[in-house]
Amino acid sequence: MKVQALIKPNTYFDSVSLMSLSTKANQIEGVEQAIIAMGTEMNKEVMKNVGLLTPEIEEAKTSDLIIVVKAETDELCEEAFPKIEELFKKKNTSKGKSEVKYSTISSAAQSVPESNLAIIAVNGAYAAREARKALENDLHVMMFSDNVSVEDEIALKTLAHEKGLLMMGPDCGTAIIGNTALCFANAVRKGNIGIVAASGTGSQEVSVRIHEFGGGITQLIGTGGRDLKEAVGGIMMLDGIQALEEDEATKVIVLVSKPPAPSVEEKVLAKIKTCKKPVVVWFIGGDEEKITAAGGHFAKMSKEAALKAVVLAGADESKLNKRALNIPLIEEVRTKLTPEQKYIRGLFSGGTLCDEAMHAAMEKFDNVYSNIARDPEYRLKDRYTSQEHTFIDFGDDEYTQGKPHPMIDPSTRLDRFMQEAKDPSVGVIVMDFVIGYGAHEDPVGAFLPAMIEAKQLAEAEGRHLEIIGYVLGTELDPQGLEDQVNKLLAAGVTHASSSQNAGLLAREFVVKGE
């Protein structure tokens, strides 16, 4: 059991309100016991007697209001406080008009006819039904839920296609519509580049790089990871390209995905061929020749895709800071590493970021293992143990079971980080930190103590531990890019300026004999 306290200085509530707050606070899920009381010496004594006294409480004055929460874990305690504060607010604003509540998509859509988009983030077993309701009510859909059957996905996308609606997802976590970030997306400039993406973090990365190059986004349409599989047939990507082609504000289109199934790739390439607008294609590990033959602009990596897009959209390439790799730094790190420190360990919260770094490594090494390796031979044998060069996507189902996504909950990755940091065969650990809407409020901060500790530990053992950190985000994001980067630098972490550079730096640090 954990106990945490919050002190609200000089706060007076009448006793009746206090009682009702206290009752409601005790009903909050996960809360074992919640106490709201004035900070008198005697009340502190009561708390001391029952083991609830914390240092903060000891400091409280008689005019302060003490809120104590006892729960299974510190996280549960922390989660409870905002909810309790919410209760306080409710009391204060109860004079205002009560907000109308709706229980079904149909009733909400009918009562508020301006509604035009539904975000569906419920258990996969119910998600298809809700999405269907939304489409029937002429709402575009972004479906964050996963575990939806392929049959349902096809049915929903077909219905959406017939009705001329977007059906983003299932398993679509990122979109930007009308300059509004939906679910997991970054705050980027408005511009003239449209993105259609089957990959969430991939599209986040491209949008952020475009922003950094001074460009901007019209729309970012997510399709869900399975859209380009044979069975689904790329319905959403084809409709997305079509919509962006018809969108006056969009000058350049960027496609982001893993390589599509062959039959789908054909359809997409045919679409590119007839498209009147330039199309930049970043299919991670995709085939340059086919894409170029179809009139597309091939990009091998994320930054390259963004660069091509902004140049096609009218930027002067010679004036852009392309953030080339820091060669002297590479030399320096190489000399610090011992011959035993051979391997890269990539620990990622973003799947495409993991994929991109892994592909960079695969160009130079053939002993690269991952939980998302396409070749079964290079799949990790045991998800808890790394093999030679290892890249782990912690967003993959097998690592998230029963837990939130690593972009929200860093705990699983944090444990693994400490494990890798102790491995003397590790030369470099590369990690991504995703900020923006939906993401953890301070992802670097959550790793900061561990990174400092790991560095010290390695030093004590006489080896240099190289950590590369990449922060995916912009200065406009709620968490603030600069603050996150500064934290990395403070911990002695090498900051990579892009996903692409993070992958390349990691590889170059441990490549031998060039």
Partner 1 sequence: MSKINELFKGKPHVINVGIESFKEDLASQGAEVIHLEWTPPGRGNPELIAALDKLEDAAVIEKIEEANKLAVERIINSQPVLIGFDQAINCVPGMTKTTILHAGPPITWDKMNGPMKGAVTGAIVFEGLAKDVEEAAELAASGAITFSPCHEHNCVGSMAGVTSASMFMHIVENKTYGNIAYTNLSEQLSKILRMGANDQSVIDRLIWMRDVFGPMLRDAMKLHPTGIDLRLMLAQALHMGDECHNRNVAGTTLLIQALTPYLIQTDFTTEQKKEVFDFVASSDYFSGPTWMAMAKCALDSAHGIENSTVVTTMARNGVEFGIRVSGMPGNTWFTGPAQQVIGPMFAGYKPEDSGLDIGDSAITETYGIGGFAMAAAPAIVALVGGTVEEAIGYSTKMKEITTDENPNVTIPLLDFMGVPTGIDVRKVISTGIMPIINTAIAHKDPGIGMIGAGIVNPPVEAFEKAMLALAENIH
Partner 2 sequence: MKVTISGDVDFIRRINNSNFSGVVHSTFNRTFNIQCSGDGELFTIACRMVDNAPNTLIIDSDDLSSWGIEVNDRVFVKNNTLYIENKLAILVEKARIWASAIPAYPCNIDTLSRNLKTIKEYIDAHGKEGGIKKKPTVQNSFEAELARMLELRTSLLWSELLKNHKSQALKHAVSLVGLGPGLTPSGDDFLVGLFTAINMIDSPFYDWRPFCEAVTKKARHLTNDISYTTLEKAAMGKVRESIINLVNSLIADNEEDLILSLNKVFNIGSSSGTDIALGLVCGLEANIIAGGKV
Binding-site ranges for partner 1 (CB under 8 A):
94, 98, 100-105, 107-109, 112, 114-123, 125-126, 129-130, 134, 138-140, 144-145, 163-166, 177-183, 187, 218-219, 239, 243, 246-247, 249, 437-438, 478
Q: Between 13 and 437, whose beta carbon lies closer to partner 2? A: 13
103 binds, among partner 2, partner 1, none (CB under 5 to 8 A by kind): partner 1
What string marks each residue from 89 to 128 as x (binds partner 2 by CB under 8 A) or -?
------x---------------------------------
How many residues bind partner 2 (CB under 8 A)? The answer is 32
Runs of H (alpha helix) within 461-512 = 481-490, 499-510
Does residue 10 interact with partner 2 by CB under 8 A?
yes
Q: Between 23 and 111, whose beta carbon lies closer to partner 2? A: 23
What string marks each residue from 152 to 171 as x (binds partner 2 by CB under 8 A) or -?
--------------------
Stretch near partner 2 under the rule CB under 8 A, chosen from 61-69, 294-302, 342-350, 408-416: 61-69
8 A C-beta contact, residue 287 and residue 300: no
Token match 């997991």: residue? Answer: 184
Exposure string (b/e) for 93-121, b if CB count within 10 Å is 16 or more?
Answer: eeeeeeeeeeeebeebbeeeeebebbbbe
8 A C-beta contact, residue 421 and residue 429: yes
Q: Between 18 and 261, whose beta carbon lies closer to partner 2? A: 18
35's enclosing H/E stretch is: strand 31-38
8 A C-beta contact, residue 494 and residue 315: no
8 A C-beta contact, residue 311 and residue 317: yes
CA distance 34 to 70: 6
Does residue 40 interact with partner 2 by CB under 8 A?
yes
Q: For the CA atoms of the chain, what is the radius of gyration?
A: 25
162 binds, among partner 1, partner 2, none (CB under 5 to 8 A by kind): none
Give me the least distance between CB of 97 and partner 2, in Å please.
Answer: 15
Q: In degrees, to the nearest 5, what angle opens at C-alpha 251 toward C-alphas 249 and 252?
A: 130
Residues 6+ apart with CB under 8 A from 218: 190, 191, 192, 193, 194, 244, 247, 249, 250
Closest to 506 measured CA to CA, from 432, 446, 447, 424: 432
CA distance 191 to 469: 28
196 binds, among partner 2, partner 1, none (CB under 5 to 8 A by kind): none
CA distance 472 to 374: 25
Does residue 33 interact with partner 2 by CB under 8 A?
yes
CA distance 261 to 234: 9
Does residue 14 interact with partner 2 by CB under 8 A?
yes
Give me the least distance between CB of 252 and partner 2, in Å please.
Answer: 53
Give me the least distance between CB of 203 and partner 1, in Å please.
Answer: 16
Q: Between 248 and 377, whose beta carbon lies closer to partner 1? A: 248
Given candidates 8, 22, 132, 261, which one binds partner 2 under the rule CB under 8 A? Answer: 22
Q: Between 52 and 167, whose beta carbon lies closer to partner 2? A: 52
28 binds, among partner 1, partner 2, none (CB under 5 to 8 A by kind): none
Does residue 45 interact with partner 2 by CB under 8 A?
yes
Closest to 421 measured CA to CA, from 454, 470, 467: 454
1 binds, among partner 2, partner 1, none (CB under 5 to 8 A by kind): none
CA distance 322 to 308: 11
- Write out the residues near partner 2 by the rule CB under 8 A: 10, 12-16, 18-19, 22-23, 26, 33-38, 40-43, 45-47, 49-52, 62-63, 68, 95
